[in-house]
Structure 1
Amino acid sequence: METNSGIQASLSGRYAVALFDLARDAQSLDTVADSLAGLKAAVAQSPDFKGLINSPVLRRDAAGKTISAVASSMGTDPLTTKFLGVLAQNRRLSQLPAVIRAYETLLSNHKGEARAEVTSAHPLTKTQITALAKSLKARVGRDVAVDAKVDPAILGGLVVKIGSQMIDSSIRTRLNSLAQAMKG
């Protein structure tokens, strides 16, 4: 698990800590987290939005206006919208996905949770995620927030990362191990 000092060592981490501190002072940690989750989904699902935040040619004022309009249309809270404006003014919108990950880690640490990144070949249902979180809680001894990702390349099974620990029970890894064993 990353520590707060480890998070602050990166540029995106410093932005995340600043946002976290502002959200904590405004008593809106979960509201900001919800807005960031929406932005995270938009980055993952929309090539246009991903292109917007990664555009090196968009002027600062244009980037600020555009990201504010997008955030408003998504129903993003005012603090997160202002924060996006700061990222745009500082030409750091490309750091948004890393800032979101760092914020999620800070929030999990604040709540005393562990954060697990779970990769599966197919989308997990809410029931499966809940059962997995319960199993992981028994293993790590505290609540676990599950961040589910889909990667068809693993073919089946799961890859679970909690901090620096990784449990790889994917079919791809098993097939690779079998291929290595057959080579001698």
Structure 2
Amino acid sequence: MRGLSRTSFAAVTERFNAVAASADLGRLAADLHAVAVLLDGEPGLRRNFADPARPAEQKEAVVRSLLGGKIADAALETVVAAVSAKWSRPGDLADALERLSVVAAAADAESHGWLDDVEDELFRFGRIVEANPGLRLALVDQAAPPEAKAALLADLLGERVKPVTLALVTRLVQNPRGRNLETGLDEYIHLVAEQRQQLVAVVRSAVPLSDAQKRRLAAWLRTTYGRDVHLNTEVDPRVVGGFSIRLGDEMIDTTIAGRIEEVRRRLAG
């Protein structure tokens, strides 16, 4: 989000934080996601709610009439704050509600002591999908009923992951909101990490890193970036010497292949 939407999202988040303090966080997450999906499916409603020319009081009245009694009070107050705000584009309204739904799910996980588990499980699920084209095809098949996808995920993940993880993955698979599955998972992972104000780094090495190596690497990244960094590690036999780290859009490459490529670029320049 940029400009006006970024400012509005901050204001809506303030309201969300106030009502979430005493809310059923799992219900709040589900309700906010459901409203985001509703707005995706009703372009006219989305445009009207995001129309800066319409009085906030009028939009609030419509929201309370349409959703009152159908979603929890905390979700209703968050949606009211969202439609009363001004957005750079109509789609940002639904995006904001989805982001807050993931934040609520992350807070729910944190309240149960599951935050690390959920973050790791989302990352591992992404790698499972990446390694199984048939599974990915089944999950992204637009012709497949949402209920069938939910049943497949329940069979695949079931009690192997925390309930928050299963809920997040199921919502994303059933309603990707125009993103591919990998992009959606990356967004969810980063939102979960932000619950603890952490950055997420993907580390690839030819052999598994020891616990001591992980601690040293995490400490170095924390010193470098001024924030805690959660490490998602991958073993990749194609990595020759050293390791690579992807942190957001930034790549730190200490591999032999990376050094050779850097020399080639310099010579070409």
TM-score > 0.5 by shorter chain: yes
Equivalent residue for 1:121?
206
- Distance of 2:170 and 2:127 partners within structure 1: 20
The answer (yes or no) to whether the contact 1:63–1:88 under 8 Å persists in 2 is: yes
Larger radius of gyration: 2
C-alpha deviation, 1:164, in angstroms: 4.2
Asked whether 1:54 is paired with 2:124, we answer no
Amino acid at match of 2:102: L
SS of residue paired to 1:124? coil
The answer (yes or no) to whether the contact 2:119–2:192 under 8 Å persists in 1 is: no
Asked whether 1:133 is paired with 2:222, we answer no
C-alpha deviation, 1:133, in angstroms: 0.7
Q: Over aligned residues, Cα RMSD in angstroms?
A: 3.7
| Residue deviations 1:142-167 (CA, integer Å, cap 9, x gap) | 32212223333342222223344432
SS of residue paired to 1:58? coil
Q: Which moved more, 1:166-175 or 1:68-77?
A: 68-77
Provide TM-score, normalisation by structure 2: 0.51
- Distance of 2:228 and 2:97 partners within structure 1: 26
Which structure has more relative contact order (CA 8 Å, sep 6+)? It is 1
Provide TM-score, normalisation by structure 1: 0.69
SS of residue paired to 1:111? coil
SS of residue paired to 1:145? strand
The answer (yes or no) to whether the contact 1:20–1:29 under 8 Å persists in 2 is: no
Cα separation, partners in 2 of 1:30 and 1:96, compared to 1, 3 Å: farther
The answer (yes or no) to whether the contact 2:122–2:165 under 8 Å persists in 1 is: no
Equivalent residue for 2:127?
44
Q: 1:18 aligns with which of 101, 108, 112?
A: 101
Q: 2:160 aligns with which of 41, 62, 74?
A: 74
Gaps of 5+ in 1: none
Cα separation, partners in 2 of 1:12 and 1:42, compared to 1, 3 Å: farther
The answer (yes or no) to whether the contact 1:114–1:162 under 8 Å persists in 2 is: yes
Percent identity for Structure 1 against Structure 2: 23
Asked whether 1:90 is paired with 2:138, we answer no
Amino acid at match of 2:220: S
Equivalent residue for 1:148?
233
The answer (yes or no) to whether the contact 2:115–2:192 under 8 Å persists in 1 is: no
Cα separation, partners in 2 of 1:120 and 1:73, compared to 1, 3 Å: same
Asked whether 1:34 is paired with 2:117, we answer yes
Gaps of 5+ in 2: 1-5, 7-90
